[in-house]
C-alpha cells in the first residue's frame, strides 16, 4: 500500500526504527522530516551486536515483520558499504529445546550432531543469517535517507511531550526507551545489555546461545573485529546504567573463549552498554488519536529492533496510508 504524496510525517527518533521508517515513508512519496534528541551514532541502536533473529519479543506479528526485514537484508547485503553480511554459525541451548520455526525455515538449517556442540550445550543448530555492523549500518541508513532529500535534525534536548512539535504532519513515534516518559507507558522497561568489541583473530563463524535473560553468550564476526556478549538484566536507569562493568566483561570473555579459543587475549577495541526498550505488552505499532496530534507509535522492540525494523516500517506506511486526508 502506497501512502498519498500529499501526506506529511514527522519521524521522532533516529535509531534503527526511526531511520528505517523515515526511509520507507520517503520512498513511498510522503513528505518526511526527522527530528531526534541525539544523532544516529549516539542512539541505543549504535550499541547493538547485532544479528537477525526474533529475540526477547512475544508478539504474533513478529514472524511477518522479521521476514520482511530478512528480505530487505538479502537485497542490500554486501553492497554499498551497508554493514550487512550473511554469515553461517550456530545457535545452541543448555536446556532441551525445540529449534524455533524461523530457524528451521532457513534454507541451510540443520541440527548439530553431538560432536559439534560446545561443552554444556545439549542441542544446537546451524544456519546462515545476517549479521549487522551497527555503526556502519546506521551510516548507510542515514545516507540512504539523505538520497531521498531527508536529513536528521538534532534537537537541543529530548522531547517532553508531542505538543512541543510544531512541524506539520502525522507524528511517528520511534523514540525507543524514551517513549516511556513521552507516552507515560508503564509497560516499557529498560533491559541492560553489555558487550565488548575485540580485534578479530580469524573467526569467520558466529555463535549465540538461546538464552534471553541473565548471562548470554554470543560472538559475532564483523570483518576485522568481533562483537562478544552479553547480558540481559532489568535495570532502573540509574546514572551508572551505561558504565561497563568489568566483572560482566570478564564473564563474557570467559564464556566466549571457551567456545572459540582464538578469542582469548584479543585486543579490546570498544566497550558498549545499552538499555533495550522491553515492553511487556508487546511491540507498539498503532495509530493513537488520544491527544491533540495524530501519532503512529513504533516502539517497544526490546532486543529485536533491527530484526523487526523493515517490517514495522512497512506497517507504519500502511497505517499512514489508511488515515483519511485531513485526519492527521
The string of pLDDT tens digits covering residues 178-214 is: 999 999 999 999 999 999 999 999 999 999 999 888 9
Residue 1 lies in a domain: no
Binding-site positions: 44-45, 175, 218, 276, 303
pTM: predicted TM-score of the whole model, two decimal places:
0.94
Query: Do 163 and 292 touch, CB atoms closer than 8 A?
Result: yes
Lowest mean pLDDT among 57-71, 82-96, 168-182: 57-71
Residue 59 lies in a domain: yes
Taken in order 89, 91, 94, 99, is the CA torsion positive or negative? negative
Lowest mean pLDDT among 51-60, 79-88, 94-103, 249-258: 51-60
- Strands 284-288 and 188-199 come out as unpaired
Binding-site positions for D-dopa: 218, 276, 303
Residue 236 has pLDDT above 80, yes or no: no
pLDDT grade, residue 280 (50/70/90)? confident
Residue 240 has pLDDT above 80, yes or no: no
Average pLDDT over residues 41-69: 90
**How large a percentage of the chain has pLDDT more than 70?**
95
pLDDT of residue 4: 45
* Structural domain total, the chain: 1
Q: What angle do CA 23, 313, 40 make, to 5 degrees?
A: 55
Residue 327 lies in a domain: no
pLDDT of residue 121: 97
* Non-local CB neighbours of 123 within 8 Å, separated by 6+ positions: 92, 93, 96, 97, 99, 111, 112, 117
> DSSP assignment, residue 118?
P
- Strands 295-299 and 206-209 come out as unpaired
Lowest mean pLDDT among 13-22, 86-95, 277-286: 277-286
CATH code at position 216: 3.40.50.720
Binding-site positions for FAD: 44-45, 175
- Strands 268-279 and 214-222 come out as unpaired
Characterize 270-282 residue by residue with b for buried, 16 or more Cβ atoms within 10 angstroms of its Cβ, and e for exposed: eebbbbbbbbeeb
Structural domain that includes position 158: 8-321
Residue 3 lies in a domain: no
Residue 26 has pLDDT above 80, yes or no: yes
Distance of alpha carbon 305 from alpha carbon 309, whole angstroms: 6
> DSSP assignment, residue 161?
-
Residue 326 lies in a domain: no
Query: Do 202 and 113 touch, CB atoms closer than 8 A?
Result: no
Distance of alpha carbon 22 from alpha carbon 16, whole angstroms: 10
- Mean predicted lDDT score pLDDT of the chain: 93
Residue 183 lies in a domain: yes
- Strands 188-199 and 170-173 come out as unpaired
Residue 2 lies in a domain: no
pLDDT of residue 234: 87
Residue 328 lies in a domain: no
Amino acid at each position: 500500500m502506497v501512502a498519498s504524496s500529499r501526506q506529511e510525517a514527522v519521524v521522532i527518533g533516529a535509531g534503527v526504527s526511526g531511520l528505517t521508517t523515515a526511509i520507507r515513508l520517503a520512498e513511498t512519496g510522503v513528505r518526511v522530516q526527522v527530528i531526534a534528541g541525539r544523532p544516529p551514532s549516539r542512539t541505543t541502536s549504535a550499541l547493538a551486536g547485532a544479528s537477525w533473529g526474533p529475540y526477547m519479543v512475544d508478539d504474533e506479528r513478529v514472524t511477518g515483520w522479521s521476514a520482511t526485514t530478512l528480505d530487505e537484508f538479502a537485497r542490500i547485503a554486501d553492497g554499498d558499504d551497508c554493514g550487512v553480511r550473511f554469515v553461517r554459525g550456530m545457535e545452541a541451548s543448555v536446556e532441551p529445546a525445540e529449534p524455533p520455526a524461523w530457524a528451521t525455515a532457513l534454507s541451510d538449517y540443520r541440527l548439530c550432531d553431538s560432536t559439534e556442540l560446545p561443552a554444556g550445550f545439549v542441542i544446537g543448530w546451524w544456519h546462515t543469517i545476517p549479521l549487522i555492523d551497527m555503526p556502519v549500518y546506521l551510516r548507510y541508513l542515514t545516507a540512504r535517507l539523505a538520497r531521498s532529500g531527508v536529513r536528521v535534525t538534532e534537537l537541543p534536548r529530548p522531547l517532553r511531550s508531542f505538543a512541543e512539535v510544531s512541524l506539520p504532519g502525522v507524528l511517528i513515534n520511534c523514540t525507543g526507551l524514551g517513549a516511556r516518559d513521552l507516552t507515560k507507558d508503564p509497560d516499557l522497561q529498560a533491559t541492560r545489555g553489555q558487550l565488548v568489541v575485540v580485534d578479530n583473530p580469524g573467526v569467520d563463524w558466529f555463535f549465540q546461545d538461546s538464552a534471553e535473560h541473565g548471562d548470554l553468550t554470543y560472538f559475532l564476526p564483523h570483518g576485522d573485529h568481533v562483537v562478544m556478549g552479553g547480558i540481559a538484566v532489568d535495570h532502573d536507569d540509574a546514572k551508572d546504567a551505561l558504565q561497563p562493568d568489568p566483572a560482566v566483561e570478564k564473564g563474557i570473555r570467559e564464556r566466549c573463549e571457551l567456545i572459540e579459543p582464538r578469542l582469548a587475549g584479543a585486543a579490546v577495541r570498544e566497550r558498549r552498554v545499552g538499555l533495550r526498550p522491553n515492553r511487556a505488552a508487546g511491540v507498539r505499532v498503532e495509530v493513537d488519536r488520544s491527544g491533540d496530534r495524530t501519532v503512529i507509535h513504533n516502539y517497544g522492540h526490546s532486543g529485536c529492533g533491527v530484526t523487526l525494523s523493515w517490517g514495522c516500517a512497512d506497517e507504519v506506511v500502511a497505517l499512514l496510508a489508511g488515515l483519511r486526508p485531513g485526519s492527521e
